[in-house]
Amino acid sequence: MSKLLCRQITTSKAAVGIFKLLFQWNVSSQHDTGHRHTEIKSGLFSIYFYSCLLVIVAFHQGCNENSTGTSKGSQDQPGEDSVSDATFTDDTAGFEDAQTRIPEDSNEDNTLYPDTVTPDDIDSPSDIQHDDTMSMDTTEMPAGGPAYYLSGDCDPIVPSHCGLPFPSNVYTVPDPTSNTGIRVQFGATTLVKTKTGVQSSPGAFGSSDGFSPSPMILAHFPDHNGQDLNGPNNIEHSLLDLSTTTILDAETGERIPHFAELDAWAKDDTRRALIIYPAVRLKDATRYIVAIRGLKDHEGALLEPTEVFLALRDKLPHDHPTVERRRDWYEDIFERLAAAGIQRDTLQLAWDFTTASQANNTNRMLHMRNVAFSQYGKGNAPYVFDKVDDDLDRHIARRIEGRITVPLFLDKPGPGGVMVLGPNGLPVQNGTAEYPFLILIPHSVVDQPGRLVQFGHGLFGSRYVADSNDYRFLANQYQSVIFATDFIGMSEADPPVIANVILSGEADGFRTVPDRSQQGFLTMLVLMRNMLNSMAQDPTISLGGSPPYMTDMGYYLGGSQGGIYGATYLSLSADILRGVLAVPGQSYALMLPRSIHFIPFQGILSDVYSDPIDHMFVLSVVQMLWDRAEPTGYAYTLINDPLPDTPPHEVLILEALGDHQVPNLSTELLARAIGAEILQPSTSNPYGIKSSTGDRKVAMMVDIDYGLPPVPPQNQPMQQGDDPHGKAIDNLPILEMTNLFYETGTIKQMCDGACDPE
């Protein structure tokens, strides 16, 4: 880290705030270790708050170096000195430690598990891709990318910021091998540049065959007065002819519900990005058209289109090469808009983009799962028990810490690792690695087997979050053996690396987060398979007798980050049919600016980037990478059209109305994506979610009303009243509802009226 960057951090107001927040968080966490929601309280510590922690660690690692002004962890080796969460083992190494269990293959026939695959089955992407190839009409997709269509890296239809409008098909090139027929190609200078002149590289984005299906759509009108936009409280108005913004399915002509707003974080009115969020997850491998009209300036006059867009719209001559090169392409856009009732002479801006295919977002993870289960599909992965404690307290009969060996697909198992990819774009196994786990066996299952519950911790937490007094109580009260590993990529070992990525200004460096996250999902899948098979028979777990839990099915419980990533994990698991997602969400690009933990992060962004539009642009761009790990890429398959070798799931979502950390808009986006209904009675009526009285339903959302004021409509966090984020499963009716759901799959209203703290 350069001395200049160190000085920028130490002298910024943001750094002062970060130190204060870190101190407060650390103190509160140290004094709250007995609370089962320590992870939820610190728990979806929105990426930005945790990024602050990362910055401090990076500051100590880099700025305290001697006169060279460089940190031990270079850009090539980020996080080398950070806490490790794994041990690398070579493929050829034997497992000679006397404590290591190498289970024999089980011959039991259990239809819950898909058949394992052979190496011959896992070499070709076609074996795991869904048929989501682009259903295009006769219109030819744009060819040549920005170098041809723009004669540069920036689109002159929005000259006020390079890269906008975004996402856009001008940043694609033909690729007949992809499911969409295209792939993303940014120019060398399309992405953001830091104050210190670091230009973000587009390298990590070139493998994408389209853009995020939950995009933060961006445009910019410097003189826009901010009026006449359909905000989040009026989503249904976005489908009307009078709406100033329209998202159109280019093939069907269907209008897509959405909301629009100006970036409320920007202090300069002329640098507020126009942000459009689809209220539903968009279809994969589909072309969409965005149209904007009727916006006015501060004097109430209609905004004039930019020169280049006006030339395209009104068939005027222009000396910029992009105009003639895009004539035919834009004629198609205008014709499709006209067919939907939007006339070209009213348009202030219009463009198109194509969403990525399902294969783009899921094939890497599915390939990793297939490779792992070709080796350990019978629950026979090697494992080690490192520590066993008996009669821990009145709730826990045995506490076990250990490590499990799984195939490694990263260049290194610890923080900063990125995926090793083969020529076909799929991950390549790089030996094996050991990752730690924790098991809690309560007294209540010693004589009568209970259920097996896999736990997912909150943001930048760890498996030890489950090891609190209140989670121990829940395990014993509801006859549940709870076990957990770390959500690596978003666990306690990752902050220093993520901080370095943010401060470096290299957006493509963010790939370590989704890459490590996918490795973390793999560990969870293999561990669950082992827990239902070989480990269930191990005397250390069975306490010398039969397994302390039923081995026909596992269950899942995750809160905050554990709810968010839990939606992805469930969509990949063949061993879990029912999961509870407490205060989850979908699409970090939507989630983060509306979280209280974006506040200190905004200070960091302001230190790194000079233009507030850059802040939103960065979030929008990295969402493309995050889709390979977060629910946007997966959750919609939970119930309908599940992923290969994966059953449909049953899901209970718990939403805390007025959540300060995970905004309700993101929770409701997730609910719509999976087709959940909202349990009645309820005090809320979110757009596009059907009401239900409960009973046997495969997906249900339960709202808990804490009597807070309305959530601010702009893209800023809710801060009024006590944050309900960590209270979603604090009351008895919710716990009983969860228990019944686990037992029977029935979701039944057990609150006296609408659910509330009473």
Supply the DSSP string of 227-247, one letter for each residue: -S---GGGGGGGGSTT-SEEE
Query: Residue 496: pLDDT above 80?
Result: yes
Tokens 């320590």 label which residue?
38
- Convert the pLDDT of each residue in 395-453 to its tens digit: 999 999 999 999 999 999 999 999 999 999 999 999 999 999 999 999 999 999 999 99
One domain, residues 352 and 366: no
One domain, residues 308 and 399: no
pLDDT at 171: 97
Which amino acid would we find at residue 226?
G
Question: Positive or negative CA dihedral for 251, 255, 259, 262?
Answer: positive
Name which of 236, 246, 324 is nearest 290 in CA terms.
246
Name which of 508, 500, 502 is nearest 70 in CA terms.
500
The SS3 call for residue 615 is: helix
Classify residue 108: in a domain, yes or no.
no
Query: How many other β-carbons are positioned within 10 Å of the β-carbon of residue 268?
Result: 10
pLDDT at 89: 60
For position 235, which CATH number holds? 2.60.40.1220
Phi, psi for 278 (deg, rounded to 5): -60, 140
H-helix or E-strand containing 290? strand 287-293
The answer to whether 229 and 220 are in contact (CB under 8 A) is no
H-helix or E-strand containing 292? strand 287-293
Q: Are strands 480-485 and 694-696 parallel, antiparallel or unpaired?
A: unpaired
- Convert the pLDDT of each residue in 689-726 to its tens digit: 999 988 877 999 999 999 999 999 999 999 999 999 98
Classify residue 616: in a domain, yes or no.
yes
Sheet with 245-249, side-by-side order of all strands: 245-249, 287-293, 347-354
Classify residue 339: in a domain, yes or no.
yes
Name which of 332, 345, 343 is nearest 305 in CA terms.
345
One domain, residues 156 and 271: yes
Name which of 380, 379, 367, 417 is nearest 86 in CA terms.
417
pLDDT at 51: 44
List own/partner pairs for 143-150 with CB under 8 A and 24 or more apart: 143/173, 143/174, 144/173, 144/174, 144/325, 145/170, 145/171, 145/172, 145/173, 145/185, 145/187, 146/170, 146/171, 146/185, 146/186, 146/187, 146/190, 147/187, 148/325, 149/322, 149/325, 149/326, 150/187, 150/322
One domain, residues 558 and 643: yes
pTM: 0.87
The answer to whether 475 and 63 are in contact (CB under 8 A) is no
Classify residue 111: in a domain, yes or no.
no
State the chain's maximal CA–CA distance in angstroms: 84
One domain, residues 411 and 555: yes
The answer to whether 488 and 85 are in contact (CB under 8 A) is yes
One domain, residues 333 and 393: no
Tokens of 675: 């087709």
One domain, residues 467 and 410: yes
Domain boundary among the residues 356, 377, 412 is at 356
Phi, psi for 673 (deg, rounded to 5): -65, -40
For position 8, which CATH number holds? 3.40.50.1820
One domain, residues 529 and 663: yes
The answer to whether 669 and 587 are in contact (CB under 8 A) is yes
One domain, residues 490 and 592: yes
The answer to whether 681 and 675 are in contact (CB under 8 A) is no
Q: Are strands 258-262 and 245-249 parallel, antiparallel or unpaired?
A: unpaired
Classify residue 333: in a domain, yes or no.
yes
Classify residue 755: in a domain, yes or no.
no
Tokens 């090697």 label which residue?
382
Q: How far apart are the first and last CA of the chain?
A: 51
Q: What's the 3-state SS for 420-454?
A: CECCCCCECCCCEEEEEEEEEEEHHHCCCCEEEEE
pLDDT at 618: 96
What is the pLDDT of the chain when averaged over all its residues?
86
Query: Residue 187: pLDDT above 90?
Result: yes
One domain, residues 307 and 374: no
- At 132, is the pLDDT very low, low, confident or very high (cuts 50, 70, 90)? low
One domain, residues 352 and 363: no
CA dihedral (584, 587, 589, 592) in degrees, to 10, reads: 0
Domain boundary among the residues 303, 326, 356 is at 356
Which structural domain, as residue segments, surrounds residue 664? 3-85+359-748
- At 685, is the pLDDT very low, low, confident or very high (cuts 50, 70, 90)? very high
The phi-psi region of residue 203 (left if phi > 0; otherwise alpha if psi is between -120 and 50; otherwise beta) is alpha
Tokens of 567: 């939606």
Tokens 């108005």 label which residue?
237
Distances from the Cα of 386 to the Cαs of 93, 401, 481, 528, 542, in angstroms? 20, 6, 18, 18, 17
Tokens of 587: 């699409």
- At 19, is the pLDDT very low, low, confident or very high (cuts 50, 70, 90)? very low
CA atoms of 153 and 360, how far apart (whole Å):
24
The answer to whether 218 and 165 are in contact (CB under 8 A) is yes
One domain, residues 572 and 606: yes
Domain boundary among the residues 336, 356, 376 is at 356
pLDDT at 694: 80
Query: How many other β-carbons are positioned within 10 Å of the β-carbon of residue 330?
Result: 20
- Convert the pLDDT of each residue in 508-556 to its tens digit: 899 999 999 999 999 999 999 999 999 999 999 998 789 999 999 999 9
CA atoms of 647 and 641, how far apart (whole Å):
9
Classify residue 223: in a domain, yes or no.
yes
- Convert the pLDDT of each residue in 633-668 to its tens digit: 999 999 999 999 999 999 999 999 999 999 999 999
Mean pLDDT of 479-506: 93
- Convert the pLDDT of each residue in 307-319 to its tens digit: 999 999 999 999 9
Q: Number of folded domains in the chain?
A: 2
What is the percent of the chain with per-residue pLDDT over 70, rounded to a whole number?
A: 81
Residues in Cβ contact with 709 at an 8 Å cutoff, skipping those fewer than 6 apart: 658, 720, 721
Classify residue 728: in a domain, yes or no.
yes
